[in-house]
Structure 1
Amino acid sequence: MERRLAAVLAFDMVGYSRLMGADEEVTLAAHRRHRRVLFAPRATQYRGRIIKFTGDGALMEFASVVDSLCFSVEIQLALRDENEGVPEESQFRYRIGINIGDIIPEDGDIFGDGVNVAARLQEIADPGGICLSGAAYHQVRSKLDLTFEHRPQRRLKNIAEPVQIYSVRLDEKAERLSTPPPPAASTEPLPPRRRGLAFRMSAVLLLAAAAGLAWWQPWTRFMPSAPFERIAYPLPDRPSVAVLPFINVSGDKEQDHLAEGLTDDLITDLSKVSGLFVIARHSVLAIRETAATIQDVATELGVHYVLEGTLQRSADRLRINVKLIDALSGLSLWAERYDRQYRDLFAVQDDVIGKIISALEIRLSQGERDRLARIPTDNLEAYDYYMRAEQEGFFYSDVDTYRRTLSYYQQAIDLDPNFANAHAGIARVAVDVWRNDYNFLWSAAVARKIAYDAAGEALRLDPSNARAHTVLALLQLVDGRAAEARNSARQAVGAQPNDAEAVGSLALILAQTGSRAEAVREMERALRLDPTPAPSFQLLAGIVFYLAHDNERAIPLIEAARDALPKAEPAREYLSAAYMHDGNRTVASAERANLLKLFPDSNLTYYSYLYDYWREDDLAYHLDGLRHAGLPQWPFGFEGKATDQLREADLRRLVDNKTWKGRHKNGTEFFQYFDKAGNTAYRSANTNITGLVEIEDDRICELFAGYFRNRSVCGFVYRNTSPDEPGAQYVHVTPQALTFFSIEQ
């Protein structure tokens, strides 16, 4: 492998997306002019080589650090003069990073840490400024009379060792270095890589024609023949796209959700196309915080194409700018400006989807055409409420977020009862409440019915609704209908093959129905679609790997979810068991202790009821891990003595037209009445419910409709010998509670 020492320079326009949103034509014209008048002639003057353009910036190589710094000073001084008197928000400025280091030339491009450090230095340079690595500074400090400012050493993203950093002050010393501007380039020089690639592509096409090749994949036309070394993931075998969050340039924060909703809908629609590979919403939102350029987006998400745009709304007018960029070449494949009425929003979305599919020459099946042709709702006010709900990020949320989300979905349905996506949204919240026994919103029976009804209504209105199929699959799984659950989950993925939520849910269902190897493959696919997943999705992925007995991959994912969701009890639960199975008893015990702080009633018997739909070996594996981590069998670690346990005859006397009066271990006082016919009524400060009771095998078994997923829950009664509750005659222990009571006379 050839290596050489070189000075590497990276530059990029500051606020490119914002400037494009304000005026796309002016920004593009300015950038082209800078390339022609500044960058190209100064590169020639200082013997620099433009390796490649990256949309709004470039990567360059110089034989000398001195030349690279002289080039940079000339560029920044010229731009400073150009910006004089221009309002700051309208100025065109660049950041420049310079490093010297080992590079690997290949196929006209350059790779290696020498390149990566320059790119990271560019990101942290001041607008209109120049940043150098310590290695570059030591090469020029005695050769150029410039003012250098030392900045604190810091770690740069994806760079193993901390880097010494210096910046250059553009003062009188810098101005003395300036030279007359060379003549502008008559044509913009094409980077050597592109010229070589164009030649190779011609040769490939000639050879293909000679061999009688009947088809050609258009998305390979700008791809290097060697792998793109800095890319985080291998490129998929089909066109891969990331839709960056549209930027709201209206100056009105109230329109942010409209820009976010447009982004979501474009991702959702593109996800329905099997011939594409589409990155999930959360990952593109996350990358927005770290990626400085389109090239960064592509390399960190592992995609070939990036869609970016802006949205501006004024009253009933809507202006949308959209551009599809080949991130590997920096070329724009297609761009469009829409100036329409707000009511034409869906028509704009359809046109954008159509233009992307056309630009990438994707062939659609009839089913895909039908799904893409479906308009979600004719009512834009309903659509507005739906988008607000989708932005809440409600999984594993607090009760107020859940209620606000449901309110938005319901308002959308009130305005348009035929809005399938809104019904599916309610179903998704309801199934989460039911599966995880979140009684603070609805009882289990009510949540289950709402989930079934809402999913059924969504599928009646739109038989290909992926989220509704996913909800149905989860309901069927917990109801013990494994084959139906797998079928519904596969239908969801078939309807939206790029939907990470649908693929991840399929993985969970496969894992819990015995297909561990397939579950792992599907979860790996889901994580490739969503490489920077939300915490709730990290937890889901961790559970799938845990059920597949792959704790090496499960633990980091669940830990990340735990750190982001400190009140999420399942993260502590699964970590306790996973660490125990991994042989780390100390950490397993610590996670068990944290679980008991969050959920003091937590116990093995509760989980045996909660997961009674699991396969027997999976449930045994989970309970065994929790048991060895130290989780008690009953709430609060209660252990009754056999000599104190009440048997069947005594239990019948306790529930024969009797009233219990007492309090829970957590301090809640209660009354519970039993009649002779097997009915019971329970009352506390916050609860007033009725149910059924029966005695079996020396246990009291109770069923309260709508609670604990409508399961009959059995427990034991002991004579009370606890010094903590001296006034109580008995102790009643169930999977859900530990209570002390006496018979009211």
Structure 2
Amino acid sequence: MASEPVKRRLAAILAADIAGYSRLMGADEEGTLARLKAHRRELIDPKNKQHRGRIVKTTGDGILIEFPSVVEAVRFAIEVQQGMLERNAEVPEDKRIEFRVGINLGDVIVEGRDLYGDGVNIAARLEALAEPGGICISGTVLDHARDRVSFEVEDAGERALKNIARPVHVYSIIIDPRRRQGMPRPQERALALPDRPSIAVLPFQNMGGDPEQEYFSDGVVEEIITALSRMRWLFVIARNSSFTYKGRTVDVKQVGRELGVRYVLEGSVRRAANRLRITGQLIDALTGAHLWADRFDGALEDVFELQDQVTSSVVGAIAPKLEHAEIERAKRKPTKDLDAYDYYLRGMASTYRGAKEDVGEALQLFHKAIELDPDFASPYGIAAWCYYWRMTNGWTTGRQEEVSEVNRLAGKVAQLGNEDAVALSFGGIALGLVAGDLEGGVALVDRALALNPNLAVAWYASGGLRAYFDAPDVAIEHLERAMRLSPLDPMFFMRALTVVAHFRADRYDEARLLAEKICRERPNWVASLRMAAACNVLTGRLNEARRFIARALHLDPGQRISNLKDRIGPYPPEDFAKFVEALRKAGLPE
């Protein structure tokens, strides 16, 4: 008689146990069991039901659960470990029950209600690697969950696990940011290389000896980045990610891994009197080999020509057969007035600092640039965006006046920005989110993307507008493209607008986790504090919500329910009503 065929299926498996269980039982057997039963009854069982887990088996201190998807398994683990942090907050350390969790996605053998095989064994080995209160996941789990659940990880590298034939890439999910040191980190996980030539331009060193000239050398690099990014076949990392390396001694190979690029351009700028010298070297980030190096000298009024020479030489080193039309297009410059350009660069430097007084100073500088060259599109666009930054932080001085000014500035961008994708992007997002003209804003941004599909800020603007205007999932897709082009962007706007998209799609847990992450990294950003408060209310965490709104009121004491519309983007009425009611429950005054 033929044997019955073995039943197999792909399963998301979670294994958990209690750290130090024997010690806890030895010290207080009855108390430990009572606390464990309370944790099961009040936290673990409800969360397991919510995420549709099936308990395969339990042991004295362990549990094995099968979930219908990796996403549900990861959400369950994060919510349980966060819940345990709260429940253990007032418990003496020697009496805390802390779980270690491992999650894997793999093929399993099914026998009745039980599961066997490497898929299960790997989850158990990952649980053993986790620190108390921690979660370890396999690389397969990370690949399936990272774009659907918001969380941070530490890379523990490839591990040889007992009785597992091949090494498994292990990651530790960060539950409490104060406990980042728990697992060894051989190196940061490398981003996959794009399917076309890719480059990052690092900040050039200011060799003039005058710190006041930093803005100028930064501006030269920005122009080179912009020129390179206009070439559709070339993948160019955005300025904001490249500039996270400013002032640091870097390993080019590490930069290549962290940014996911094949080539790195570095160099220096020396400005003395009316003379200018730009040096550059192009490096293969995979091998460390120098592909090209050169020096360019000229008069200050030749700055655009020198930038063109650097750009053309880099392009020539990467792809000698570059189409002549693309090179010529990259040479088009926004202004011939060097003083206007200088004011624009100073304004950009102030904008990137981002404080209230810096943004006010930037607006003055952009207006000076416009006075000198009224046909220079870039300062119109960035000035319009400064009003968006003022609005979202509650720095507005006159709402209607600023809306009128944004409409005027965006109108000039539409008129003058035929070849300026940066101006169109910034002008478009300001027109949509400050003036409320979402259709007009999207039209400007779509023009920017047609001009330069490599521009991170254009994808950011497109995703940001569509977070309010269009399907939230389309918004997230565009924001993810922006984040890939600028993976280390310190300004967080892309992630903040991703929060809005999740909120509008009723994915409050994803929105909450991402908003809280932004609040940890940028604790003075009022907009993310408000969103974290609202999402905590909508996920039943009223105490946390009140903490976030208290912080937001400390930073912006004048915000109220009655003036909230002046501080946020143009939500559809039903979403705005939901947001208002959540913030009212969190404690925002009327």
Q: Same fold (TM over 0.5)?
A: yes
Aligned partner letter, 2:381: A
2:197 pairs with 1:160: no
2:512 pairs with 1:489: no
2:416 pairs with 1:461: yes
What is the rounded CA distance, in whole Å, between the counterparts of 1:358 and 1:551 in structure 2?
48
2:340 pairs with 1:382: yes
Q: How has the CA–CA distance of structure 1 residues 628 and 374 changed in structure 2, closer, same or farther, with 3 Å as cutoff?
A: same
* 2:552 corresponding residue in structure 1: 595
2:436 pairs with 1:413: no
* 1:47 corresponding residue in structure 2: none
* 1:313 corresponding residue in structure 2: 271
* 2:515 corresponding residue in structure 1: 558
Q: How has the CA–CA distance of structure 1 residues 307 and 557 changed in structure 2, closer, same or farther, with 3 Å as cutoff?
A: farther
* 1:430 corresponding residue in structure 2: 387
* 1:249 corresponding residue in structure 2: 207
What is the rounded CA distance, in whole Å, between the counterparts of 1:504 and 1:267 in structure 2?
17
Aligned partner letter, 1:446: E
Q: Deviations over 1:73-98 (max 9, x none)?
A: xxxxxxxxxxxxxxxxxxxxxxxxxx
Gaps of at least 5 residues in structure 2 are: 1-156, 161-166, 170-177
How do residues 502-651 of structure 1 correspond to structure 2 at under 5 angstroms? Answer: 502-537=458-493, 538-555=495-512, 557-563=514-520, 565-607=522-564, 613-632=570-589, 634=590
Per the TM alignment, residue 542 of structure 1 is displaced from its structure 2 partner at its CA by 3.4
* 1:334 corresponding residue in structure 2: 292
What is the rounded CA distance, in whole Å, between the counterparts of 2:433 and 2:324 in structure 1?
31
* 2:407 corresponding residue in structure 1: 452
Q: How has the CA–CA distance of structure 1 residues 482 and 462 changed in structure 2, closer, same or farther, with 3 Å as cutoff?
A: closer
Q: Secondary structure at the match of 1:392?
A: helix
Per the TM alignment, residue 288 of structure 1 is displaced from its structure 2 partner at its CA by 4.0
2:232 pairs with 1:274: yes
Contact 1:310 1:321 in 2 (8 A): yes
Aligned partner letter, 1:532: L
What is the rounded CA distance, in whole Å, between the counterparts of 1:425 and 1:276 in structure 2?
25
Contact 1:396 1:536 in 2 (8 A): no
Q: How has the CA–CA distance of structure 1 residues 509 and 423 changed in structure 2, closer, same or farther, with 3 Å as cutoff?
A: closer
The normalised TM-score by structure 1 is 0.51
Q: Deviations over 1:78-125 (max 9, x none)?
A: xxxxxxxxxxxxxxxxxxxxxxx9999xxxxxx999xxxxxxxxxxxx
* 2:307 corresponding residue in structure 1: 349
Q: Deviations over 1:251-288 (max 9, x none)?
A: 22232222111111111222222212111222122134
Aligned partner letter, 1:475: L
Q: Secondary structure at the match of 1:266?
A: helix
Per the TM alignment, residue 551 of structure 1 is displaced from its structure 2 partner at its CA by 4.6
What is the rounded CA distance, in whole Å, between the counterparts of 1:369 and 1:468 in structure 2?
21
2:352 pairs with 1:404: no
What is the rounded CA distance, in whole Å, between the counterparts of 2:414 and 2:158 in structure 1?
58
Q: Secondary structure at the match of 2:190?
A: coil
Aligned partner letter, 2:304: F
Q: Deviations over 1:321-378 (max 9, x none)?
A: 1111111021222221112222211111112222222322287779855642312222
Aligned partner (choices 336, 346, 349) of residue 391 of structure 1: 349
Contact 2:391 2:567 in 1 (8 A): no
Q: Deviations over 1:28-65 (max 9, x none)?
A: xxxxxxxxxxxxxxxxxxxxxxxxxxxxxxxxxxxxxx
Name whichever structure is richer in helix by fraction: 2
Per the TM alignment, residue 464 of structure 1 is displaced from its structure 2 partner at its CA by 3.1
Q: Secondary structure at the match of 2:350?
A: coil
Q: Deviations over 1:217-266 (max 9, x none)?
A: xxxxxxxxxxxx96531111111111000001222223222211111111
Q: How has the CA–CA distance of structure 1 residues 594 and 446 changed in structure 2, closer, same or farther, with 3 Å as cutoff?
A: same
What is the rounded CA distance, in whole Å, between the counterparts of 2:380 and 2:508 in structure 1?
36
Per the TM alignment, residue 309 of structure 1 is displaced from its structure 2 partner at its CA by 0.4
Contact 1:474 1:509 in 2 (8 A): no
Aligned partner letter, 1:160: M
The normalised TM-score by structure 2 is 0.63
Per the TM alignment, residue 503 of structure 1 is displaced from its structure 2 partner at its CA by 1.1
* 1:721 corresponding residue in structure 2: none
What is the rounded CA distance, in whole Å, between the counterparts of 1:548 and 1:336 in structure 2?
51
Contact 1:409 1:422 in 2 (8 A): yes
What is the rounded CA distance, in whole Å, between the counterparts of 2:470 and 2:275 in structure 1?
54
Misfit runs of 4+, over 6 Å:
101-104, 155-159, 362-367
What is the rounded CA distance, in whole Å, between the counterparts of 1:598 and 1:620 in structure 2?
24
What is the rounded CA distance, in whole Å, between the counterparts of 1:631 and 1:286 in structure 2?
35
Q: Percent of aligned positions with the same letter in both sequences? A: 31
* 1:260 corresponding residue in structure 2: 218
Per the TM alignment, residue 539 of structure 1 is displaced from its structure 2 partner at its CA by 3.0
What is the rounded CA distance, in whole Å, between the counterparts of 2:185 and 2:456 in structure 1?
35
Q: How has the CA–CA distance of structure 1 residues 409 and 311 changed in structure 2, closer, same or farther, with 3 Å as cutoff?
A: same
How do residues 41-120 of structure 1 correspond to structure 2 at under 5 angstroms? Answer: none
* 2:43 corresponding residue in structure 1: none
Compare CA radii of gyration and give the structure with the larger one. 1
Per the TM alignment, residue 479 of structure 1 is displaced from its structure 2 partner at its CA by 5.1
Per the TM alignment, residue 504 of structure 1 is displaced from its structure 2 partner at its CA by 1.2
What is the rounded CA distance, in whole Å, between the counterparts of 1:159 and 1:497 in structure 2?
40
Aligned partner letter, 1:573: R
Q: How has the CA–CA distance of structure 1 residues 359 and 477 changed in structure 2, closer, same or farther, with 3 Å as cutoff?
A: same
Contact 1:456 1:468 in 2 (8 A): no
What is the rounded CA distance, in whole Å, between the counterparts of 1:330 and 1:616 in structure 2?
54
* 1:472 corresponding residue in structure 2: 428
* 2:262 corresponding residue in structure 1: 304
Contact 1:395 1:536 in 2 (8 A): no
Per the TM alignment, residue 388 of structure 1 is displaced from its structure 2 partner at its CA by 1.1
2:245 pairs with 1:287: yes
Which structure would you say has the larger RCO, counting Cα contacts within 8 Å and 6 or more residues apart?
A: 2
Per the TM alignment, residue 506 of structure 1 is displaced from its structure 2 partner at its CA by 0.9
Contact 1:275 1:362 in 2 (8 A): no
Q: Deviations over 1:453-502 (max 9, x none)?
A: 22322343331322433323542455554444333222222223222222
Q: Secondary structure at the match of 2:296?
A: strand
Q: Deviations over 1:280-328 (max 9, x none)?
A: 2221221346663111111111111100001112212222111111110
* 1:152 corresponding residue in structure 2: none
Aligned partner letter, 1:402: V
What is the rounded CA distance, in whole Å, between the counterparts of 1:296 and 1:157 in structure 2?
21
What is the rounded CA distance, in whole Å, between the counterparts of 1:396 and 1:255 in structure 2?
19
Gaps of at least 5 residues in structure 1 are: 1-100, 105-110, 114-154, 164-228, 635-745
What is the rounded CA distance, in whole Å, between the counterparts of 1:432 and 1:366 in structure 2?
39
Contact 1:273 1:364 in 2 (8 A): no
Q: Deviations over 1:179-208 (max 9, x none)?
A: xxxxxxxxxxxxxxxxxxxxxxxxxxxxxx
* 1:234 corresponding residue in structure 2: 192
Contact 2:476 2:498 in 1 (8 A): no
Contact 1:334 1:359 in 2 (8 A): yes
